[in-house]
Structure 1
Amino acid sequence: MQSCTVKGMTVGGGAPVRIMGIINCSPESFFSGSYVPGCAVRDHAFAMIDEGADIVDVGARSTAPGSVPITVAEEIERIETALAELDGSGVAVSVDTMYPEVLDACLRHDIHLINDISGLSNPAYARLAADSDLPVVAMATGRLPGDPKGTEATRVVLGQVIERARAAGIEGLILDPAVGRWTPERTYADDWELCRNFGRFKAAGHPILLAISRKSFIGDLIGRPSEERLAATLALTARLLTDADMVRTHDVAATRDAVRVIEHMEQSL
């Protein structure tokens, strides 16, 4: 498997599982407890690092189904405010956006990873990412974010994502299989199928991101709102961790504890 380097840190290729803490500058988020106003981002980032995060993922737009839309200009204003707080901090920073105009603004700041839910499907975005020489997390996307339905379709689309990255000249690539209710066609059963077959995505040959934190398919199973899904999220994380190279989470300390326990158990075998 190919590995990827983010701010001197190896992801994949036998490296320890990396923890990505979510910093959400969008008050429209499906999980209200994750919202961090721009003026508080620096303190929140350092708190996440203290809890065990390897990198923080800063986003300023909710992409959850039914979320209130905002303009590209609003997203730029929010994310630039947040990134200005982190410039020169030494914190490894990922930016979560799917718009080339927003990415262009982010690239004026001290960032180290690009997180694209549109899977490099926008050629202008892919060119910007390639020119930055930064590694990219790219989600399984054909035409719309997270649109493949089922394990085999997801594997096919991840192959297309890899080809887009190669064509653009992007060398550092982390794949996100897009677990979640991304499109109206996606069902509860579809998400659980992806989880049950999560190990099959390793065959793509790139590091894999596990991004399931507090998502609706977990809530559908246990009948709890996003604020009450931590235990179930950790249970599923524990089951899928051996096939993940990075875990994206709202709950860094709890996730880091779970990862340490699982890694210790595996070392003891």
Structure 2
Amino acid sequence: MRNVDAAGLGIGDDHPPRIMGVLNVSAESPYDPSVYDDPGEAAEYVDEELIGEGADIVDVGLESANKDLDVLSAEQELDRLDTAVETLESTSGDAVWSIETRYHEVADEALSRGFDMVNDICGFADPEMPRVCSEHDAAVSKMASPPDLERPGAIEDVDWAARSAASPERSWSYADDIYEALSMNGFTDKTILDPAFGGWSEAKTHADDRETLRRLREFRGYGRPLLVSINRKSFLKTIAGRTTEEALPVSLAATSMAVERGAHVIRTHDVAETRDAALVGAEFARNRVRSGRDAGDVAVEELDVTTAREAERHLDRLDADRDAAAEAVVRTYELTGLPEPAVGALRAATAGAEGVDGAEFALAAEADAAAPGPAADPPSATDGGAPDTSDARDAAETGAAGLLICTPAGRRALIDRVSGVSDPLDAALVATDAGSK
């Protein structure tokens, strides 16, 4: 994972989660507590409510992200930049200052007047943005965004039916489109990626955002730090039926999840609470094996991969054979209610040298004891009479249980091997596909 130095602030796996506090100098912004157009009042807010509460980065917005409002021109944003610069110069706290803009002219002016990094909400749609950021040696957050009237964004309308027809082996979704959009227009050496949560287009749904958060680990496939902006977003509010003012708890829950899944920067209006939630997420993130590379040594980094699709993202980054992803992840399924033919088929298909590679089946102990075995002499009177067959009767009536442990490739091969033996088993194995992406 590439780490980014943002004016001395480290961002990436080698560093704690960073908190980006929000200041808006736009009266049109949707969340009033962060809106200031007076530099003195804005500076006081930044010192007390942002930096004072633990913000590592102060992100200054010059216009509202509301898609229903007209997009400001570069000239209009430059007119508002004076307020942002006066605020920066009036604060006493220490933080990295970020300017939110889509225009290279605004970024260049802001970086020349004291700002440290850029938050590009249009995914380098301005072709000069990467050059400007590189010339200033500035970190830049690149958001995958939809088109707007002024400049095309990174995301275009996608014909899902045509895409699926071209690649029938895969089902495409909004999260896939966002992932691909992030690569458009390239990267700088200090690019941080933002998968664009929120209502950036009319066609986008709350389900799209939820899928993106669910699959956030995939976005680590680019090997670059991730920024997420999920504070009080509608896709979270609707889960719990909360208004914007009531949405802090759901935002904090999602923050912990995002950091645990690989986010490095959390953009928020609620700095202190979000900082705590991010630290909790970081504490319970997987402790991966990592070692640096000195001269002559081999570097090791254990990737946080939980699905085959996540493995494919890393293989694509390395331009390696993505078929290897089929062996990259082991899944465990508990199967219950297995009829006797299904048990026999699973045991035969996974046992010995002829068994399916990448698949193991372990039968529960009681069911194993009750399963038919070699014929034995009938018990004598001294053995206590007739044997207790209750376990066998229970297994016959309720079915057996066991664990199926397999890679995606092993699961597919197993399905081919045992197909048709038992309808309930066929249905169960098909069901395992739902969570194996």
Q: What's the TM-score, normalizing by structure 1?
A: 0.88
CA-based RMSD: 2.3
1:175 is aligned to 2:193: yes
Count how many residue pairs are aligned between Structure 1 and Structure 2. Answer: 262
Amino acid at match of 1:190: D
- 8 Å contact from structure 1 (residues 29, 64) kept in 2: yes
Q: Could you say what secondary structure the match of 1:107 adopts?
A: helix
**1:158-207 Cα shifts (integer Å, max 9, x gaps):** 2225xx22xxxx21110001111111111111111111111110111000
Aligned position for 2:155: 147
User: Which structure 1 residue ranges, 4+ long, deviate > 6 Å from structure 2?
Assistant: none
Pick aligned residue for 1:205 from 210, 223, 228: 223
C-alpha distance in 1 between matches for 2:249 and 2:69: 25
Amino acid at match of 2:155: D
Q: Could you say what secondary structure the match of 1:21 adopts?
A: strand
Aligned position for 1:238: 256
C-alpha distance in 2 between matches for 1:156 and 1:70: 27
C-alpha distance in 2 between matches for 1:59 and 1:129: 18
Amino acid at match of 2:26: S
- 8 Å contact from structure 1 (residues 155, 201) kept in 2: yes
C-alpha distance in 2 between matches for 1:33 and 1:46: 14
Aligned position for 1:3: 3
Query: Cα–Cα, structure 1 residues 79 and 265, in superposed 2: closer, same or farther, change >3 Å?
Result: same
- 8 Å contact from structure 2 (residues 98, 117) kept in 1: yes
Aligned position for 1:247: 266
- 8 Å contact from structure 1 (residues 6, 113) kept in 2: yes
Amino acid at match of 1:123: P
What pairs up with 1:36-185 in 2 under 5 angstroms? Answer: 36-39=36-39, 40-47=41-48, 48-67=50-69, 69-87=71-89, 89=92, 90-141=94-145, 143=147, 144-145=152-153, 147=155, 150-161=174-185, 164-165=186-187, 170-185=188-203
Query: Cα–Cα, structure 1 residues 267 and 152, in superposed 2: closer, same or farther, change >3 Å?
Result: closer
Q: Could you say what secondary structure the match of 1:123 adopts?
A: coil
Between 184-193 and 254-263, report the one with greater CA deviation: 254-263
Query: Cα–Cα, structure 1 residues 157 and 71, in superposed 2: closer, same or farther, change >3 Å?
Result: closer
Identity over aligned pairs, percent: 34
Aligned position for 1:261: 280
**1:71-130 Cα shifts (integer Å, max 9, x gaps):** 443322223212222138543101101122322331231111111011112112232222
- 8 Å contact from structure 1 (residues 87, 109) kept in 2: no
Larger Rg: 2
1:27 is aligned to 2:27: yes
**1:5-57 Cα shifts (integer Å, max 9, x gaps):** 01211100321111110111111112222212242222222221121111110
C-alpha distance in 2 between matches for 1:137 and 1:12: 13
- 8 Å contact from structure 2 (residues 144, 194) kept in 1: yes
C-alpha distance in 1 between matches for 2:108 and 2:60: 15
Task: Report the CA distance between 1:142 and its aligned residue.
Answer: 6.7
Q: Could you say what secondary structure the match of 2:99 adopts?
A: strand
- 8 Å contact from structure 1 (residues 29, 67) kept in 2: no
What pairs up with 1:218-229 in 2 under 5 angstroms? Answer: 218-229=236-247
C-alpha distance in 1 between matches for 2:234 and 2:26: 18
C-alpha distance in 2 between matches for 1:26 and 1:228: 23
Amino acid at match of 2:138: L
Q: What's the TM-score, normalizing by structure 2?
A: 0.56
